[in-house]
Amino acid sequence: MFLSFASTLLAQSSDWIAPTIDWHALAPELVLVAGINIVLFLDLSLEASKKWAMATITGFVLLGAFIPVVTLAVIGDGTRSMFDGRYVVDDYALILKALFLLVGYVVVLMSQTELEEGGYYQGEFYVLLLSSVLGMVMMASARDLVSIFIALELLSIPAYMMAAWRKRDEKSNEAGIKYYLLGVFASAILLYGMSLLYGATGSTLLTDIGAALSDGDLIGLEVVAVVFVIAGFAFKISAVPFHSWAPDTYEGAPTPVTAFFSVATKAAGFVALMTIIFIAFPGADDVYEPMIWVMAVLTMTVGNVMALRQTNIVRMLAYSSISQGGFILMALAFAGSPDATGAALNAVIVYLLVYAFMNLGAFAVVIAVSRKTHSGEISSFGGLFSYAPGLAVAMTVFFASLAGIPPFAGWFAKFNAFRAVLDAGTTSAYVMAAIAAVNTVIAAAYYMRVLRVVWVEDVPDGDTSPVNPPAPVVAALVITVIGTIVLGVFPDLVARFGDIDSLTGAFGG
């Protein structure tokens, strides 16, 4: 069965090539492919003293890929389907493509100075970053098990190498090895689940799988397939109990790479999980809902409790990222409820968009401050307001948003997630809401603990010389601060992006 699934890609190749290709719909991917080749060629051609240009070129490539996304959204004529429905460009896909490209651009800004000063291989790094973003952009449009798996591997394999980018650092090497080994294991589980799905339904197309499972009367083979697929994606989103790689990988990887993992790769995992649940598993809600319910409770609780114990801010943000994933999962736990389907989809998309701004911003502050303190300990942020008030205010904005405090964007993301749960109107939904409310308070405790250090405590070494963050990091901070504040004050700007009525293409409608 596994070999039969693997050979399906070749067997279906004639169906994929036959339809006319919509070049406009594929423009973002084509720009990224061209950009990867340009960056690679220039890296081979430029002298070492001019390698700084790699970051600028990579930024232009990402912005260039953003342009067709905007034009498709503004002047597009609805859903565009290619390769027999296996690759779809609709409003749902465009929103997520824009998210991935924006995250990639901000990460480039955060990475530029560190790569230049650290003596890292800049060209190779940006090629890997663009390749990973390409996989994420493809994931947003993938509507077939094969295309989803290819996109997942395309975004994951470069990430394994980026985690170990500090080649002479033991922790970075450990991070890369752990991420790689556990990632391969998770991919094997996912691929096995996909092969079982193919064997049970006779198709890799998500709409066909959804039709085959629509009656809800699943046989044992189909139940096992659903469980394995959910478990495979649970690793990518670092859901408990599949989270063991995240803290060590986040701490050991370069900080900009950690920011990329905590936002982009997590979002890509959620996008794949969300697409499969809403399109392929509408009749399997009795299987996936209890599984996701348990994972959501464990993820937010374990993430928060472990974050309370951390003294290293990157490790704390790693567990914070895990707990934030739990809040996103709690909406997906009720995706099969007729009264909560639209709200659940809305909640996940809105949360991913908001989370990108506030979490990237928090890591940008960490990068700026650590250039002066050369430490990742929370205590090293003592008295930050006394010598870097701008960074202290920015940190307050991001951490207050992560805690869900108005008027910053995080409050609306959490509000939407709670609304999706309560719309289900079941006992399990009310229990979930109560657990999430307790976890919101716990999360606020460790966010406020850091802010107390920033605003109240003394500078540890008495050094109050100002922090001078590089211009690219300042630009990243400006983008993320504006996004966090604007989306909190004007939530309607982002709320409409998650409207289920505008995403009918995602359901083959």
Tens digit of each residue's pLDDT, the chain (509 residues) = 444 544 554 444 444 444 567 788 899 999 999 999 999 888 888 777 777 788 899 999 999 999 999 988 887 667 788 888 888 888 888 999 999 999 999 999 999 888 877 666 778 889 999 999 999 999 999 999 999 999 999 999 999 988 888 777 788 888 888 888 888 889 999 999 999 999 988 889 999 998 988 876 788 888 999 999 999 999 889 898 888 888 888 888 888 899 999 898 899 999 999 999 988 888 888 888 999 999 999 999 999 999 999 999 999 999 999 999 999 999 999 888 888 888 888 889 999 999 999 999 999 999 999 888 888 889 989 888 988 999 999 999 999 999 999 889 889 999 999 999 998 888 999 999 999 999 999 999 999 999 999 998 888 877 778 888 889 999 999 999 999 999 888 888 777 665 444 443 444 43
- The one-letter amino acid code at 163 reads A
Q: What is the pLDDT of residue 16?
A: 46
- What whole-number distance in Å separates Cα of residue 493 and Cα of residue 167? 42
Which runs of E-coded beta strand occur in 61-150?
Answer: 80-82, 87-89
- What whole-number distance in Å separates Cα of residue 474 and Cα of residue 455? 21
Q: What is the pLDDT of residue 490?
A: 85
Helices (H), 202-312: 206-212, 220-236, 245-252, 255-260, 266-275, 285-308
CA-derived radius of gyration, the chain: 22
The CB-side HSE value for 290 (13 A sphere, CA atoms) comes to: 5
273 closest CA partner among 434, 356, 151: 151
Contact yes or no for 334/344 (Cβ under 8 A): yes
Instruction: Identify how many contiguous H helices and E strands the chain contains and give both numbers.
Output: 22, 2
Q: What is the pLDDT of residue 3?
A: 46
Q: What is the pLDDT of residue 151?
A: 93
Tokens of 115: 């790569």
- What whole-number distance in Å separates Cα of residue 157 and Cα of residue 131? 9
Q: What is the pLDDT of residue 233?
A: 92
Would you list the domain boundaries of the chain? 286-500
For the chain, the first-to-last Cα distance in angstroms comes to 31
Q: What is the pLDDT of residue 505?
A: 43
- What whole-number distance in Å separates Cα of residue 401 and Cα of residue 491? 13
Tokens of 426: 């079941």
- What whole-number distance in Å separates Cα of residue 192 and Cα of residue 325? 24
Q: How many CB atoms lie within 10 A of CB 205?
A: 23
DSSP 505: G
